[in-house]
Structures are given as C-alpha cells and as structure tokens.
Amino acid sequence: MDHFLYRNGELHAEDVAIAEIAAQVGTPFYCYSSATLLRHFRLFDEALDGLPHLVCFAMKSNSNQAILKLLAGAGAGMDVVSGGEYARARAAGVPGERIVFSGVGKTAEEMRAALEGGIRQFNVESEPEMAVLSEVAVSLGTVAPITVRINPDVDARTHAKIATGKSENKFGIPISRAREVYAHAAALPGLKVIGVDVHIGSQLTELEPFETAYLKVAELTRALRADGHEITRLDLGGGLGIPYTRSNEAPPLPSDYGALIKRTVGDLGCEVEIEPGRLISGNAGIMVTRVIYVKSGEGRDFLIVDGAMNDLLRPSMYEAHHDIVPVAEPAPGAEQQPYDIVGPVCESGDTFAKQRDMPALAAGDLVAFRSAGAYGAVMASEYNTRPLIPEVLVDGDRFAVIRARPSYDEIIARDHVPDWL
C-alpha cells in the first residue's frame, strides 16, 4: 500500500496534488510520502514483536537526510556501506549504537571514523578486513564489535546483479570455513565477536531462500557456541521485494517474513537485526516527469520525457519495470495505445519502457513513475551535465524540497581549471 492515489481527477501524494508540486518545483523530480515510509517501517518492527530486535534501514536505497531523520525518529537503526553513508547517518542524528557498518571494502579511514564516532557493529566480510580492523581498533585503544558475514551458497532467485548469497558472489566468508574464520577473529586483540551476519540478495519475492539461509545460520550459531564463542546477535540482512507492478502477484508480507524469522532462529535467544531498504522506501516514492514530445517512428510512437536514465537508472541497468501513469486521471475506459517511453540522453539505453500501453498523451502532460523511492535518487548522476533532480517530501497537506536542483553554474563551478590552461 502507498499514499499516491487519484483524487478529483488528479494524482496526489497524501493530500498534495502532484501537479501543484510540479508547478512550483519544475520537472523532473522525486516525491516521497512520509506516511508510506513510516507505515512500511512499522510493519517490519511489528513483525518482530516478541523478539529483541532492531530494524536498520538500508541507506543504500535512499540516503536523503530528511528520510533518515524521519525513520530514525520512529526508532529505526541504519545499515551503512561506506564512510559517506556513516557520516550521513550521524548528521541525521542517528546515534552510533544504532548504526551497523556493512560492505566488502571498508578502508582503515572508514573504520577509524566509525570507531571514533560510535558504532553498533562491523559486519566483517573477509580475513584481511579483520586484520585491518583489529589494527585500527588497537591503535585507538578500543575493541571493535563484529559479526562475520557468512556466504551460505543459497540462490536467492533474483536478478543476477543483486544476488549476494551464492558461492560465486563477492560477499562474505564461505560457510564451510566459518568456524575456522571465527577462531581466527577471536584471537585478534582488537576484535570482539558478537554474532553472525548473512545477506543473500535484494528484491526476493519468495520466502524459501530466506528459510534455507536462516536454517544454516541457526546450525552455525549452535556450532560456534559449542566452540566457545558468545553469539548474542544475528544480522539477517534485508532483501524482501516489493510489487513493481499492480498485478495480483505480490511478494510476501513483512508479517510472513517475521514469522519465518521466529520459526527458524527465534529459539536461539539472540537479538535479531534486519536491514530492509527497498520495501521501506521503494513504494514510498515516485519520479514525476513531463512529456517533451510525442514522436512517430517506424511502426511505433515515442513519448520523449524530460526524465532520463541519469535520473532513474534501474530500467537501463537492470531492465527493471516501473508502472508509469498519467498524473491526470484517465477517463474510465479510455483507449490505450503503445508507446516507447524514452528520455533525452544520447544513449539507446535511455529507454524506460517499450510498447507500454498508455492513454493518449501530448506534449506538456505529466507522468509518474511508481515505486521509484528506492535506488532512484541515490543512483542518479549528472551525465550529459543534467542537474540532479529535486527530491520532495510530503507530510499530509504540506511538502518541502529536501534536495534542490543545482544550477548549471553550480555544477560547472565544481571543476577546477589548472593555471597553465
């Protein structure tokens, strides 16, 4: 469920008309619903009721300061994968004890910043990383709390580019070596082993891969405790998918996911962490764009819009589907016709949809890309010197620009021309 609905013939975000935002902000822009973000976070929080737990928002899906502050105020922790994301979380007022540091390539500088600023735990991905983290912690006269990310060799049955739990993926330690690696970690002076971490992928639409992975985690936890390790925390990652289409097929609910967690690891007496991103922010955002031209081609018509692949990369990068709807509500039974919906970037890959049935549209019409709140603005670029587009947050009947569109002068001023030119 989201809060982007037609009302009086116009698409609204909560109680604000999208056309009103477009008139004030210009197009294209991202628009987020506070009510949807909070509802989705609370669904996860309630799903784990009865277990000691922390729901950490996966910031890589959407890292705007306003979004982070909104979710942190509701009790969310944060899952960060870089020093920059850590700095964003702290700037949003998230305390260090609610920040989990994931990622395969943490640098010594990032480790130092997190240890000095406060951190809940590092999810360690390799033995070389353990050695560096131990050295940094010792140099600071402290001990770094860690979980070890294990790779359970489980097929998440998702897009190949977002699968992370198979043996050929770059993530984690092979589960077959876990006990050996934990013994090594326990011997390092700057580390304190506190738990087990696993993450098998993103946009999972069925629970079976989670169950397979979590049963392996439970078995490993018992073995590690038998080896003398004090395992008190299980980081189970994120990855639950969202419905990108309005079809009757929908991914499992957070309540079903929570029941699975309780069934597979709930008897271990561990605190549970989960790190959803997409399901919290994905359907809480849309990208709004305007038709520039309607162009007739050889056997097809093109809608050329002012949004482009640099603004929303997912269709080009992942062949991803987004429902695309007119901002002005079509009349009941309005005739549909197929369009290729494309942007203005000089790449054939700047295509959002091919032969998508839409009501007849004309230059100047607004359209909205649904389910664009995750991996939208965070993956945007200034390719073709196209400014990053504004982000807008709606709360009831009010809205605010939470990231402004830079001017061309501001973009160009970031370049530095050497004296010899």
Tens of pLDDT, residue by residue over 353-368, are 999 999 999 999 999 9
Give the closest residue to 239 by CA, choosing from 161, 164, 175, 319.
164
pLDDT of residue 246: 62
**414 pLDDT tier (thresholds 50, 70, 90):** very high
Give yes or no for a contact between 98 and 68, defined as CB atoms under 8 angstroms apart. Answer: no
Tens of pLDDT, residue by residue over 115-154, are 999 999 999 999 999 999 999 999 999 999 999 999 887 7
56 tagged catalytic: no
Give yes or no for a contact between 392 and 399, defined as CB atoms under 8 angstroms apart. Answer: yes
Element (H, E) at 223: helix 208-226
Cβ within 8 Å of residue 410, ≥6 positions away: none
As given in the structure block, the two tokens for residue 55 are: 């729901």
The percentage of the chain sitting over the pLDDT mark of 70, rounded to a whole number, equals 94
Average pLDDT, the chain: 93
Question: Within 10 Å of residue 209's Cβ, how many Cβ atoms?
Answer: 21
For 384, counting Cβ atoms within 10 Å of its Cβ (0-12 exposed, 13-18 middle, 19+ buried), the class is middle
SS3 159: coil
SS3 34: helix
Instruction: Considering the candidates 31, 56, 270, 346, report the single residue annotated as catalytic.
Output: 346
Sheet holding 4-7, edge to edge: 4-7, 10-13, 16-17
Cβ within 8 Å of residue 130, ≥6 positions away: 124, 146, 181, 184, 185, 188, 191
Tens of pLDDT, residue by residue over 94-111, are 999 999 999 999 999 999
Q: How far apart are the first and last CA of the chain?
A: 56
Tell me the sheet residues that pair with 358: 337
As given in the structure block, the two tokens for residue 233 are: 């925390």
SS3 225: helix
> How far apart are the C-alpha atoms of 113 and 131, rounded to whole Å?
17
Tens of pLDDT, residue by residue over 260-270, are 999 999 999 99
Element (H, E) at 170: none
pLDDT of residue 156: 47
pLDDT of residue 298: 86
Give yes or no for a contact between 224 and 231, defined as CB atoms under 8 angstroms apart. Answer: yes
Give yes or no for a contact between 204 and 256, defined as CB atoms under 8 angstroms apart. Answer: no
What secondary structure does DSSP assign to 175-220, as a single string?
GGGHHHHHHHHHHSTTEEEEEEE---BSSB--SHHHHHHHHHHHHH
pLDDT of residue 249: 59
How far is C-alpha 340 from the chain's CA centre? 27
**167 pLDDT tier (thresholds 50, 70, 90):** very low
Tens of pLDDT, residue by residue over 31-61, are 999 999 999 999 999 999 999 999 999 999 9
All structural domains of the chain, each given as residue ranges with its CATH number in brackets, are: 4-31+282-413 (2.40.37.10), 34-279 (3.20.20.10)
Tell me the sheet residues that pair with 54: 273
Checking if the pLDDT of 164 tops 50, the result is: no
Q: Beta 29-33 vs 285-296: how paired, if at all?
A: antiparallel
Checking if the pLDDT of 401 tops 70, the result is: yes
Q: Beta 271-274 vs 53-58: how paired, if at all?
A: parallel
Checking if the pLDDT of 289 tops 80, the result is: yes
pLDDT of residue 162: 42
The model carries a pTM of 0.93
